Structure 1
């Protein structure tokens, strides 16, 4: 068994420990798909739904302008609203990553060129 595992490890360019881990996963599920890399699935958001709602409402109100405003004042406004409601404010990067989630590229282009 050890020689077979060592040979498989060298052919697959894996360590012997990885081959044993693959064997263990295969033996428990008896499916080839059990050998595929494990993915984390959908990422869990770390901010509360109330903060998400503040971000969405503020971006809908302030972001889609004919002349696109800077994001920094909008992020400051979101932080101020969160602090006034006693919530943990999101980071600038968190706010910037919500823009493509909330708006399609067509929607952004339509509002800015109207």
Structure 2
């Protein structure tokens, strides 16, 4: 089911609860019934109900979001990112580049010296992979 269809179904199940609350009646049993109908935990249904109320009972407030970190976001400290960048420029973007292991060691040593938690090998490799290869070749030939 698409995200929009899921949101519309959830809204259809949860909107009557807003009317029950407006009458001053307890909504906890209705939340339990909605949890069973939607196949979700009660705590998650409470969360969806609050989102629906805050979103003026619009189904768009219930569209499921993407789980995990957002695309393009970084989880490293800015200081660590700066260390990775300067190390790449100092050691990787030169005519005779050292081994990947040497670059990893340099970055880890610099991070530990400055009190940062060093990045993993996989993280450093990912930063290398996103570098523009044309730029890398141009800088290596220029030196």
TM-score over 0.5 for the alignment?
yes
1:82 counterpart residue number: 111
Q: Per-residue deviation at 1:20?
A: 6.5
Distance 1:20 1:48, change over 3 A: closer
Aligned mates of 1:113, 1:92 — CA distance in 2: 27
Instruction: Specify every segment of 5 or more residues in structure 1 that has no aligned partner in the other structure, as ranges.
Output: 1-11, 13-18
Q: Per-residue deviation at 1:109?
A: 2.1
1:73 counterpart residue number: 102
Q: Which has the larger radius of gyration?
A: 2
Secondary structure, in 3 states, of the residue corresponding to 2:117?
Answer: coil
CA RMSD of aligned residues (A): 3.1
Q: TM-score, normalised by structure 1?
A: 0.63
Does residue 52 of structure 2 align to residue 23 of structure 1? no
Instruction: Specify every segment of 5 or more residues in structure 2 that has no aligned partner in the other structure, as ranges.
Output: 16-56
Q: Per-residue deviation at 1:50?
A: 0.7
Matches of residues 33-72 of structure 1 in structure 2 within 5 Å? 38-40=65-67, 41-42=70-71, 44-72=73-101
Aligned mates of 1:25, 1:38 — CA distance in 2: 15
Distance 1:108 1:79, change over 3 A: same
Aligned mates of 2:6, 2:83 — CA distance in 1: 49
